Amino acid sequence: MKKLSAIGEFGLIGLLRKQFSGSRRRGRPEVIKGIGDDTAVLPFHKDKYLLFTTDMIVEGVHFTKKSPPEAIGRKAMACNLSDIAAMGGVPTYAVVSLGTPARVKVKFIQEIYAGMEHLGKKYRVTIVGGDTVRSDKLIINIALLGEVKRKALTTRAGAKRGDWIFVTGPLGNSLKSGRHLSFTPRLKEAQYLVQNFKPTAMLDISDGLAADVGHILEESRVGAVLYEPKIPCHRGAALNNALYDGEDFELLFTVPPASGKKLLADKRFYFIGEIVDRKNGLTLVDRRWKSRRLPFKGFTHF
Shortest CB 248 distance to its own copies, Å: 17
Shortest CB 234 distance to its own copies, Å: 24
Nearest to 182, CA basis, from 93, 34, 72, 265: 72
From residue 16, alpha-carbon distances to 20, 21, 33, 156 in Å are: 6, 8, 15, 18
Pairing of strands 90-100, 126-134: parallel
Rounded to whole angstroms, how far apart are CA atoms 141 and 130?
9
Pairing of strands 126-134, 223-227: unpaired
Shortest CB 9 distance to its own copies, Å: 6
> Looking at beta carbons only, is 7 or 239 nearer to its own copies?
7
Contacts of 90 (CB under 8 A, 6+ apart): 84, 123, 124, 146, 147, 148, 187, 191
> Looking at beta carbons only, is 128 or 264 nearer to its own copies?
128
Shortest CB 96 distance to its own copies, Å: 8
From residue 212, alpha-carbon distances to 49, 73, 205 in Å are: 24, 25, 6
> Looking at beta carbons only, is 175 or 239 nearer to its own copies?
175
Handedness of CA 76, 78, 79, 81 (dihedral sign): positive
> Looking at beta carbons only, is 6 or 265 nearer to its own copies?
6
Shortest CB 302 distance to its own copies, Å: 4
> Looking at beta carbons only, is 91 or 199 nearer to its own copies?
91
Shortest CB 14 distance to its own copies, Å: 11
Nearest to 276, CA basis, from 159, 161, 160, 158: 161
> Looking at beta carbons only, is 131 or 266 nearer to its own copies?
131
The secondary structure element, H or E, covering residue 164 is strand 164-167
> Looking at beta carbons only, is 41 or 159 nearer to its own copies?
41
CB-based contact 32:41 (threshold 8 Å): yes
Shortest CB 204 distance to its own copies, Å: 13
